[in-house]
Structure 1
Amino acid sequence: RSAMEAAAGPSRLRVGFVGAGRMAEAIAQGLIRAGKVDAKQVLASAPTDRNLCHFRALGCQTTHSNQEVLQSCSLVIFATKPQVLPAVLKEVAPVVTAEHVLVSVAAGVSLSTLEELLPPNTRVLRVSPNLPCIVQEGAMVMARGRHAGSNEAKLLQNLLEACGQCEEVPEAYVDIHTGLSGSGVAFVCTFSEALAEGAIKMGMPSALAHRIAAQTLLGTAKLLQQEGQHPAQLRTDVLTPAGTTIYGLHALEQGGLRAATMSAVEAATCRAKELSRK
């Protein structure tokens, strides 16, 4: 059965993972929880048992053989470290067939590199996930290779929406997504921590301040998504003349928050591009 035929009945679709780290586990967990795939239809490979135990706990099949994953599954997600991926692709290339749809989540490995390392006409897609996939709130983008059509893109998008939001983009956006959303998780954590520390400074207990800061981020993000508004509009709704918020915003502007954040995304994107070139 090809991945496309299996898409008609998700419970019958066999999904393989080559590499069993946190991102692979997060995607597998999302697919299983959303009922897109049966746990027993998932096969994961890794060189040691260290990470495979997490897959076994989910009820998945595991192996130490990368080739076995491709021989058993038509849709295979490669979630190895980027520097390991070329060797892994060369190893599995002899068992890749026209039935396969291969997906890479390795940062910085281009579609053209993936296609060069695999047999001609292999259907390849690239996905850039981020850590919140672990709680099914990921922000993902995907780009398709030369031989992957809209059917493959739809199949993958449908599956990955179990882990959050997934949008198809030109490959040129993937490095920007890494800077905005991959690294952005750390930027947002830094801001959340600073928010809480401001409250701690003013006398609020630490644990409470951190809980409220995190909930403030969550609530604001939901408002932005549901209202579909530009952030500036929402911000204006909170501002009252001579009120608390405008005093706080003035302090943020004096600290150069916007410029620092834009520079952070730029620096992370440039680094992602640099790593891609290597």
Structure 2
Amino acid sequence: MPLTGLTIGCLGGGAMAQALLTGLIKSGVQTQNLYVSDTRRERLEFLHRELGVHTRANNSELVKESDVVILAVKPQVVEEVLEETGALFQPHQTLISIAAGIAIQFMESFLTHPVPVIRVMPNTPCLLGSGASALCLGTHAGARDRERAMAIFSAVGRAVEVPEELMDAVTGLSGSGPAYMYVILEALADAGVRVGLPRDVALLLSAQTMLGSARMVLETGEHPGRLKNMVTTPGGTAIAGVYALEEGGLRVTMMRAVEEATRRSREMSSALK
């Protein structure tokens, strides 16, 4: 396992850091090898109590103790944190950032040594171990660092590698995607209520249908169009519903949503540079 014997530290103890630490523990990483730092003492006490990980109030101390450092702070404070710790990173370490919109080149500019940097865009279902994450490698990152990052984010879902120029597209699709799914899910539940189902029943059926359909794609490897064709019989109910979706322009609307979110991500990334 790429993480065996490594110490892993999270700079920032928010919800995503908690999700990553939880996933790592479930994957077999010993709590004695996990560290977290945060400015909030109560948050550190909570993480120690709930997960059993080591806590540090000092970011510099955490960096010195960790083989892999996960930068899990808000984008607005990345510069402040790297100004404080950048000179401490060594080439044998791997710096992994989940700060949205922060370019690798910007982070590397704070590092005194040729430190491997990896940028990752996860999404909120990581909190339940069902996340979708995309990562890209920095100037000095190699196969060892890629394996470390893939192991960490595979512990909370599925992970892929993309070039950095596609990270805004990742943000528009999977980073923002849960919001689109919730809108669709709510609409399906409302539709169930409209045709007579109790609200709780309609929501459960809608959510489980979405979950099961996604699993069918992931676990069978079949194209979604083929799976759709398996459900739509001639003159049946499903094809009547699909016709209504096409008539309403669902496909184009979904594509526009991803395009607009990608465009906005590019704007925000430019503002942070």
User: TM-score if structure 1 supplies the norm length?
Assistant: 0.93
% same residue: 39
Secondary structure at the residue paired with 1:84? helix
2:185 matches 1:192? yes
2:167 matches 1:174? yes
Match in the other structure for 1:265: 258
Q: Is the 2:9–2:35 contact (alpha carbons within 8 Å) kept by the matching residues of 1?
A: yes
Distance 1:75 1:61 in 2: 15
Gaps of 5+ in 1: 1-6
* C-alpha displacement of 1:70: 0.4
Q: How does 1:55-66 map to 2 (within 5 A)?
A: 55-56=47-48, 57-66=50-59
Match in the other structure for 2:30: 38
Q: How many residues matched?
A: 270
2:40 matches 1:48? yes
Q: How does 1:70-85 map to 2 (within 5 A)?
A: 70-85=63-78
Distance 1:175 1:8 in 2: 28
CA RMSD of aligned residues (A): 1.3
Gaps of 5+ in 2: none
Q: Is the 1:17–1:45 contact (alpha carbons within 8 Å) kept by the matching residues of 2?
A: yes
Q: How does 1:1-278 map to 2 (within 5 A)?
A: 10=4, 12-35=5-28, 37-56=29-48, 57-278=50-271
* C-alpha displacement of 1:50: 4.3
Distance change in 2, residues 1:260/1:50 (3 Å) = farther
Q: Is the 2:11–2:72 contact (alpha carbons within 8 Å) kept by the matching residues of 1?
A: yes
* C-alpha displacement of 1:17: 0.2
* C-alpha displacement of 1:173: 1.6
Secondary structure at the residue paired with 1:117? coil
Distance 1:270 1:8 in 2: 36
Q: Is the 2:2–2:151 contact (alpha carbons within 8 Å) kept by the matching residues of 1?
A: no
Given residue 115 of structure 2, which amino acid in structure 1 is its aligned partner? Answer: T
User: TM-score if structure 2 supplies the norm length?
Assistant: 0.95
Secondary structure at the residue paired with 2:165? helix
Distance change in 2, residues 1:154/1:90 (3 Å) = same
